[in-house]
Amino acid sequence: MDRFRFPWGDERRYNANSNRIKEKYGGRIQKVSVNAGFTCPNRDGTKGIGGCVYCNNQSFTPSYCVDVEDIKGQIDKGIKFLEKRYKSPKFYAAYFQSFSNTYKPLKELRSIYSVALKHERLSGLVVSTRPDCVDDNVLDYLAELSRDYYVSIELGIESCYDDTLQWINRGHTFNDTKRAINMTAERGLEVTGHLLFGLPGESREDMLNQADILSKLPLNALKLHHLQIMKNTKLAGLYLETPAMFSLFSMEEYIEFIIRFLEKMNPDIAIERMVSEAPPAHLVNPGWGNKRADWVQKKIESVMEEKDTWQGKQFKKSQKFL
Ligand code: SF4
């Protein structure tokens, strides 16, 4: 007997970005992290100094990006590392992840991205950046590249509320985010947003309501994260001084929460990730008993199955983009 299929075409209870990518591009795309020496306007004084309160780029920089001088060397080392761990993908894409990877003059960006794209094993780029670090020129250039390569832009949304963005010292507003998402999508580029749950000042209802806000935007995918407090960040200092200000998620609470969030989420927007996973050595709290993100992810899916719920179950279609 045929199993029931959800609107995104498979049996999973949410629109998994990995399946969307396979469907659209004919196979899995494996990201290879590349550290091209970018900084960020929120750290060099242009927008602010010291960065967002939770920023600790070390915690997500793979070891193969450290101490390797050139981009090609990092890609070679990264592919070797990934080949040992994962099944062969259809494509590899250079993942410019650390800091703000469009924050250089266009001439330099052209040269950095071209070095990566010249690598014989690469078929594209994934560029992570801030919403206030994209403009017409850089997006036009990326759109030009996307005629021949896979090009995806990851934008840090973090919160849809300006009060929160101010509190975390992001140095941009939610209007900047909407503008960047719309400008990226208008050019046919893949656009993924990154969102954080558990920031001080936001109630659980505030966090949930972001599903309605984001559902109206032309995003291809979302990466959802629970707030983890990392060592050597401003947030860690604030947490250790005033823990009562924080209402961090327990694992059980988060599973419950994320399912409610997914129920409200537009089923057309795929989900790339639902849980954060920082290396324990960098983490202050919450540790969730060292449960790996994959384990929590499976648990979320099994609870969705038990509850007979799915992404978009409570989604009310809205006609207009913001
Ligand atoms: S925008 Fe990113 S790199 Fe810059 S300070 Fe914030 S988290 Fe760090």
Question: Contact 151/108 with Cβ under 8 angstroms?
Answer: no
Q: In this structure, what token pair is assigned to residue 281?
A: 């050595």
Place of tokens 């075409």: 9
Ligand 1 close to Cβ of residue 130 (< 6 A):
yes
158 CA to centre of ligand 1 in angstroms: 11
Res 319: pLDDT: 45
- Nearest atom, ligand 1, residue 99 CA: 3
- Nearest atom, ligand 1, residue 48 CA: 5
Res 259: pLDDT: 98
- DSSP state for residue 98 in the 8-state scheme: S
Give the burial class of 276: count Cβ atoms within 10 A of its Cβ; 0-12 exposed, 13-18 middle, 19 or more buried.
Answer: buried
Ligand 1 close to Cβ of residue 131 (< 6 A):
no
Res 1: pLDDT: 47
Ligand 1 close to Cβ of residue 52 (< 6 A):
yes
Res 58: pLDDT: 64
Res 61: pLDDT: 62
If one residue of 46, 49, 57, 229 were mutated to test the ligand 1 pocket, choosing by the most ligand atoms within 8 A of its CB, it would be: 57
Helix axes 106-118, 136-145, angle to 10 degrees: 20
The vertex-62 CA angle with 57 and 66, nearest 5°, equals 85
**String of DSSP letters for 11-51:** SSSS-BHHHHHHHHHSS-EEEEEE------TTTBSSS-BS-
Low-confidence residues of the chain, pLDDT below 50? 1, 319-322
pTM of structure: 0.93
Ligand 1 close to Cβ of residue 128 (< 6 A):
no
Structural domains in the chain? 17-307 (3.20.20.70)
248 CA to centre of ligand 1 in angstroms: 21
Ligand 1 close to Cβ of residue 42 (< 6 A):
yes
Res 5: pLDDT: 83
Total residues found in the chain within this entry: 322
